[in-house]
Structure 1
Amino acid sequence: MNSINLVGNISSDIDIRALNDGKFVAKFDIAVTNPYKHEKTSFLPVECWGRVAENTSNFCKKGSKVSVSGYVEVDQWQNDQGQNRYKTKIVADKIGFLTPKSSGGQQQQQQNNQNQHDPFANNGQPVNISDQDLPF
């Protein structure tokens, strides 16, 4: 059985193209962390077709967290010197969008507003307060 499920971040710009028959194909790379060696990250090429390609290009960008479900495919060809070349890629049947819509500037502004109303949000710095200001 050839099946793969990954969760990671899109690590390249999404390249979407319309084919002559009206179908779309999107290609991008996904960065996934090794579950046993967290310092090791792999960058895997992903290809998706049709509505999956359109939606991914409309709702995701470089840095977006996604889940990818699909299968592994190996392309084989011969170069000009007659050597066999191979490229392994993930062909995605489903892509889940895991980055919330409100992430980015709106989330930062919301955090700044919350810190303005929180007297204890001092980013770990000592608070200058006198003993007379304490209620005990």
Structure 2
Amino acid sequence: MPNLNKVMLMGNLTRDPEMRFLPNSNMAVVNFGLAINRTWYNKNTNEKQEETTFIDVEAFGKQAEILNQYVSKGRPIFIEGRLKLDQWQDQQGNNRSKIKIICEKFEFLGGRDQGGQGGGGGQRGGFNRGGQGGGYDQQNNPSAGYGNQNAPGPAPQVEVDDDDIPF
């Protein structure tokens, strides 16, 4: 049976990135929290409802270095990645677990100093929101249009074969 582990989230950093290095390979690793808001209207009371989900994100290598350098608490960001379950025993011997996101691609949102408008250009499958920002995939390829505020025209058309559609 096929499996798919893919997550796309857009939210704001809840804390500044914390960078460390793996001991054997000296590879950079950065951890930060992401807050994702959801708003809806309750059908029964017709009142606006809101909930916030908090999730931890981890990135490696050049991505980690870029995130550590350019993002900070409150900054909006788009993350593409996969779920990972961490399991451990606490000091009292209780089994603990937590789901986090392993970042495979990200895009800055908003302006350089912060902002909450605009988006970055992506690279895969014509995914290009235009505007300010930019992103990197896991191979550290900068996105087209990074920092280009005036340009992006229509997203390139991608030819899709029927065999590419999973349903």
Same fold (TM over 0.5): yes
Rg (Cα) greater in structure:
1
Q: Determine the C-alpha separation between the residues in 2 that align with 1:103 and 1:2.
A: 30
Q: Which runs of 5+ in 2 are unaligned?
A: 42-48, 116-167
1:6 — aligned with what? Answer: 9
Q: CA deviation at 1:43?
A: 1.1
1:16 — aligned with what? Answer: 19
Counterpart AA for 1:72: L
1:126 — aligned with what? Answer: none
SS at match of 1:101: coil
> Once superposed, what is the RMSD of the aligned Cα atoms?
1.8
Q: Which runs of 5+ in 1 are unaligned?
A: 105-136
Match of 1:87 among 90, 98, 109: 98
Query: 1:19-98 to 2 correspondence within 5 Å?
Result: 19-20=22-23, 21-34=25-38, 36=40, 39-98=50-109
Task: Name which structure has the greater RCO, CA cutoff 8 Å, separation 6+.
Answer: 1
2:111 — aligned with what? Answer: 100
Q: Deviations over 1:13-67 (max 9, x none)?
A: 1101122322000000011012547511111111111111111111111111100
Q: Deviations over 1:51-87 (max 9, x none)?
A: 1111111111111110000001111122344322101
Choose between structure 1 and 2: higher helix proportion: 1
TM norm structure 1: 0.69
Identity %: 35
TM norm structure 2: 0.57
